[in-house]
Amino acid sequence: MKYYLTVFGDCHLAQSDHNMLRIPAQAAVMLAYLYGCERPVSRQELAKLLWPQVTQSAALTNLRSMMRRFAAQMPTKTINFLTIDDRYLQITRGKLDCDLDLLDQPGSMQRLSDLNEALHKGFLPSLGTGGSDLDKWVRTYQAGLFDILRNDFLKICGSEGFWENRQQLKHVAAFLLDQDPRDEEVRNHLAKLTRPSASPASTTNKIHSFIELPKRPVPAAANGQSSPDTSTQTNPEPDNAQTPPPRIALLPPGGLGEEAQQSNIATALIEDITISLCGEREISVVAPYTSQKIATSDDKAGLLEKHKVAFALDTRKTNDELFAQLVFMPSDETIWAHRFQLDAGNSADQRSLIQDAIQASIAKQITMHSPYLNEFNSNPDAYYSYLHGLQNLSGMTLPALRRARKHFKDALKYQPRFAPALAGIARTLSMEWVVTARGDNNLLEEAERLARLAIEQDQASAGAFKELGVSQLYMGKIDDSLGSLHQAENLSPHYADVLCSYADSLTHGGTPALAIEKINSAISFNPLAPDTYHWTAAGASYFIGEYQQALDHIKKMKDSSSAFRLAAACWGMLGQTTKARSCRQRVLKDNPDFDLESWLAMIPIKEKWQIEHYREGLLKAGF
């Protein structure tokens, strides 16, 4: 009976009929190591490799126990593809096949294609990130596989007839440059593949050179196998002495079925832009395959963080439009957005125009934001504490706000005048004032102070001006608030959070119709909108008499407890007394001392008609 070992994308053993065997996970890793080494490996070496945290004696005991459990799971109760004696173990070739056998093919386009697909899945992907000898071996072996991929790519690019495989070669080049943005030889071949009439130098000057990257020396050919002396010692680590280029991912529009078919043109366009940007020296571009996986993942933000993405171009296709927005990941800020009309009858010229527009905008924004990226990179502890704070701000509950504030304060411990964290604390204080509804002006005064301090540290911070405007709004300084938020919008016209806060101030300033326009823009930029967006939209909808629309927005909130007062007023205006009083009871449960007149006197509303409108709804709800 023959068996098959899979090491790309997963690590498992199966029978020739693809029936997966339930062998111990460590046994499958051991087989991968033995197969990759192609030599007898001592029991001591395997035991130390698989159980480095215990003594040699305990590790050998673990190995013997694992081998017994391994054999027990085999159909014949023996492991017939292993040669085993008192000292060594070795794979018996011919009785075990493996997806690594693709390396046995002679260098060809087929091997290049197969290896490219395999490496996209990852060699033993659950390993290779730690500091153990096994992790180091996985990194060494994978580096050897990439050298084989690179050498095959260069060989084919230098051969006759390579143009027939141009599309596939472009994808391989993008993948190689994703791994090593400094590989000038691969970059020059990509330039020829994407712009055959242009010189390589002319393809790399669209993005201003704000980071100088040294050229990478061409490595000697690798055979992808570790010698007995280096398999557990070699540790190819990145050169930390050199500043890495900013990393960008271009996420194609998602969709299933008919929607996916309609997105084909847009997806191909984003792929073309991705491959074209791979030719730029000053950035590192996530390869198209990986970007596709990120775009369709349920944990998009987590994967972007895992791949150390600083800029993400998120795209969506609706009807005959392609919407693209560039997000600066460290501050989760939309720094550019645009809608492009798609005309199927004029696709070639149109794609060229859209491609040039997107590439030029990316170039401009990366150049503008590189100093901020350097600041985040130079203070990683402050940055990660700040990110944890942002994650807690998606809700509008008091515990979530206080958790966020703690993380922002932690960021300030690492960098005392970190403007984004100062603005973040200001935001939590203003929102706590809203959620508790107790009229504690000390919260707002501190929020205003911290927002101004953040502006002192970074006068181009749209987020800091936004928090200043929010605190001013709740202090009753409505005109000042509108001025601060107008400045925030000027600094970052596509920053959805700014538009949301601006909409809230417009509502309180007596222009709810304009507020609806602003909040709809914010939601279009951020379709998976946090609760604050729908809460703001609900408030504006109430004041234009669209009570059901307001309730629909409240229904979209993950935690609508902060909107119970507004919901009660909406049901009251709709004549739904039972539902209105139910919401009233929930308000009083959270805040038994709530007093209608005190609340109306406290909330900052500029126009008297709005106060009377709100009072009418709340009175009808039984307050």
Q: pLDDT class for 382, splitting at 50, 70, 90?
A: confident
Instruction: Tell me the mean pLDDT in the region 130-135.
Output: 91
- What would the CATH number be for the domain defined by 247-377? 3.40.50
Instruction: Tell me the mean pLDDT in the region 200-220.
Output: 36
Please answer whether residues 500 and 476 qualify as being in contact, where contact means their C-beta atoms are separated by less than 8 angstroms.
no
User: Which pLDDT score, from 0 to 100, does residue 350 have?
Assistant: 67
User: Which pLDDT score, from 0 to 100, does residue 17 have?
Assistant: 65
Least confident among 45-54, 257-266, 306-315, 474-483: 257-266
Going by C-alpha positions, the residue among 343, 399, 415 that lies closest to residue 561 is 399
- C-alpha–C-alpha distance, residues 468 and 109, integer Å: 59
Average pLDDT, the chain: 83
- C-alpha–C-alpha distance, residues 411 and 397, integer Å: 22
- C-alpha–C-alpha distance, residues 422 and 444, integer Å: 14
List residues bridging with 334 in a β-sheet: 327
Least confident among 102-106, 389-393, 471-475, 610-614: 389-393
CATH for 3-98, options being 2.60.40.10, 1.10.10.10, 3.50.50.60, 1.10.730.10: 1.10.10.10
- C-alpha–C-alpha distance, residues 127 and 5, integer Å: 16
Look at residue 334 and give its three-state secondary structure.
strand
- C-alpha–C-alpha distance, residues 208 and 370, integer Å: 11
The domain ranges of the chain are 3-98, 101-190, 247-377, 379-493
Look at residue 321 and give its three-state secondary structure.
strand
User: Which pLDDT score, from 0 to 100, does residue 218 have?
Assistant: 31
- C-alpha–C-alpha distance, residues 200 and 186, integer Å: 11
Q: pLDDT class for 504, splitting at 50, 70, 90?
A: very high
CA 336 to chain centre: 17
Instruction: Tell me the mean pLDDT in the region 222-236.
Output: 37
User: Which pLDDT score, from 0 to 100, does residue 560 have?
Assistant: 87
Better-scored residue on pLDDT, 8 or 220:
8
Least confident among 57-71, 101-115, 360-374: 360-374
Structure tokens at 448: 């205003």
User: Which pLDDT score, from 0 to 100, does residue 195 have?
Assistant: 64
Taking 80 as the threshold, does the pLDDT of residue 65 lie above it? yes
User: Which pLDDT score, from 0 to 100, does residue 221 have?
Assistant: 33
Residue 380: is it exposed, middle or buried by C-beta count within 10 angstroms (0-12/13-18/19+)? Answer: exposed
Angle between helices 264-277 and 166-179 (to 10 degrees): 60
Share of the chain above pLDDT 70, in %: 88
- At the topology level of CATH, where does 379-493 sit? 1.25.40
Highest averaged pLDDT of the listed ranges 88-97, 301-310, 610-619:
610-619
Residue 79 backbone dihedrals phi, psi, to 5 degrees:
-110, 85
- Which amino acid, 387? L
| Torsion of Cα atoms, 22 then 25 then 31 then 32, to 10° | 120
Alpha helix ranges (H) inside 195-335: 257-262, 264-277, 288-295, 300-306
User: Which pLDDT score, from 0 to 100, does residue 529 have?
Assistant: 81
User: Which pLDDT score, from 0 to 100, does residue 511 have?
Assistant: 94
Residue 203: CB partners within 8 Å, gap ≥ 6?
A: 191, 194, 195, 276, 279, 280
Taking 70 as the threshold, does the pLDDT of residue 271 lie above it? yes
Q: pLDDT class for 114, splitting at 50, 70, 90?
A: very high
Taking 70 as the threshold, does the pLDDT of residue 302 lie above it? yes
Taking 80 as the threshold, does the pLDDT of residue 280 lie above it? no
